[in-house]
Amino acid sequence: MNTLFDKIWDSHIVDRIEDGPQQIYIDRLYCHEVTSPQAFEGLRARGIKCFRPERIFCMPDHNTPTHDQDKPVQDPVSRKQLETLDANVREFGLTYFGMMDPRNGIIHVVGPEQGLSLPGMTIVCGDSHTSTHGAVGAIAFGIGTSEVEMVMASQCILQSKPKSMRIKVEGKLGKGVTAKDLALYIMKQISTSGATGYFVEYAGSAVRSLTMEGRLTLCNLSIEMGARGGFVAPDETTFAYLKGRPYSPKGDDWDKAVEYWKSLRSDDDAVFDKEIVFDAADIKPMITYGTNPGMGVEVSGRVPALESIPEQGRESFCKSLDYMDFHPGDAMIGKKVDYVFLGACTNGRIEDFRAFASIAAGRHKAENVVAWLVPGSWAVMEQIKDEGLDKVLEAAGFEIRQPGCSACLAMNDDKVPAGKYCVSTSNRNFEGRQGQGARTLLASPLTAAAAAVTGCVTDPRDLL
């Protein structure tokens, strides 16, 4: 009667505190430059080393420029953070994928593609989108800086066990509907707080039909629903994706691992604290109109009328529309677009570039649009070149930048100017997220590509 979450969580309990949290063993800690400096400083002040350094992997991503990475970083704040991480990993003897390392990239893209994130693991990082790694069938969640220090010092963490939720999506996804649309649809239905206090298992035929890259996108956005994390039970799709990865088990160890991974599923009679079921046929290509990821509509739809919003949410709804300079009843189709961003730990993988290129091929970037196409890792960059997608995109007037978090958040050079509209494949559309005063419309790579070649919000199904 156990859920998969129960099985993984309970197998990692080291100790229980009566009427308090549980001590959980952590299989993998990822560190980047933003949340790790204080954790390293804490170890230094206590005169201790990392307890199990071989289980800690570090790389810069947030402050990484997406051009001229072989040259000194110009921004002084970014340069300081990058240099600090470099010095810390050397002092503490940790595995480091630094800038220009062929294994470098956004930490939530690199973990799965290197085979570092594996089924049945517990995985943490000082970053909310750590939930991405749940796509391989792991319990993965973001933690705070003091907790990063706790894991470095003990390879354990104190956590209260979340409740369990299962979200099932049954049926077949329609034309032009991606995992990003699926996630935006779920958030529209349950809101950005609808999964607060829960760990979500995604299930159902529509979820099982997703590729690993689609599952990574879906799990990435779990945190935006308020969830502690989200995951998909491992299956043949998972095993095929992980086989042969640099850090995946090899030989007999692979066979033993797969045998164990096949047991990682919720029991048929497992009881969840909450279950929700959606019909895939109801999901269309989505886009956001407001300032949280739950404020989404079908790309062919309209901004909701004020009276359709619950009374307690009307003030924030109006505030969001004021910021976006949108109005109730506005059609989304035809809205002017100034910037398009393809990338982030949400949609910076090879399938996302294939999708974007499928619409860009034979067309040309609109003159009024600035487009940033940023691979999630150097490995993705190599795949883009191997498949000739770079040539297709360059012929359409697009330039591919170097890997990094880029315009997902305003912590590097790729900032959207105030008042400008950006159709973005990233994960958050908060006020100022992409730059002070920037206006973000979250969408899939297909919808982003449609906007990039037309200069306005366009239904990607019309171009497929």
The helix (run of H) or strand (run of E) holding residue 5 is helix 4-11
- CATH number belonging to domain 4-159: 3.30.499.10
pTM of the prediction? 0.97
- What sign does the CA torsion over 49, 107, 55, 58 have? negative
* Placement of tokens 């947030």 in the chain: 62
Contact 408, 343 (CB under 8 A): yes
Using CA atoms in the order 429, 432, 433, 435, what is the torsion angle rounded to 10 degrees?
A: 120
Contact 165, 198 (CB under 8 A): yes
The low-confidence residues of the chain, meaning pLDDT below 70, are none
Cβ atoms within 10 Å, residue 128: 16
Q: Which residues contact 343 (CB under 8 A, 6 or more apart)?
A: 352, 372, 373, 374, 375, 376, 405, 406, 407, 408, 425, 426
Q: What is the pLDDT of residue 448?
A: 98
Tokens of 425: 């494949």
Tokens of 209: 């039909």
Q: What is the pLDDT of residue 1?
A: 84
Residue 61: alpha-carbon gap to chain centroid: 13
**Portions of the chain given CATH number 3.30.499.10:** 4-159, 306-462
Residue 391: alpha-carbon gap to chain centroid: 27
Write the DSSP string, 97-165. --TT-TT-B-HHHHHHHTT-S-TT-EEEESSGGGGGGGGGS-EEEE--HHHHHHHHHHSEEEEPPPEEE
Q: How far apart are CA 45 and CA 114, in angstroms?
A: 33
| CB burial of residue 149 (10 Å; 0-12, 13-18, 19+) | buried
Q: Where are the alpha helices (DSSP H) in 143-264?
A: 145-154, 179-190, 205-208, 212-220, 236-242, 252-261
Average predicted confidence (pLDDT) for the chain: 97
Residue 206: alpha-carbon gap to chain centroid: 19
CATH architecture of the domain covering 163-240+258-282: 3-Layer(aba) Sandwich (3.40)
| Ramachandran sector of residue 323 (left: φ over 0; alpha: ψ -120 to 50; beta: rest) | alpha
How far apart are the two ends of the chain, measured CA to CA in Å?
A: 45
Local structure of residue 202 (DSSP, 8 states): E
Q: Which of helix, strand or coil describes residue 224?
A: helix
Domain 306-462 has CATH 3.40.50.2000: no
* Placement of tokens 């982030």 in the chain: 344
Q: What is the pLDDT of residues 221-280, one digit of tens each?
A: 999 999 999 999 999 999 999 999 999 999 999 999 999 999 999 999 999 999 999 999
Q: How far apart are CA 212 and CA 138, in angstroms?
A: 13
- What sign does the CA torsion over 451, 453, 454, 455 have? positive
Q: Among 417, 413, 434, which residue's Cα sits nearest to residue 79?
A: 413
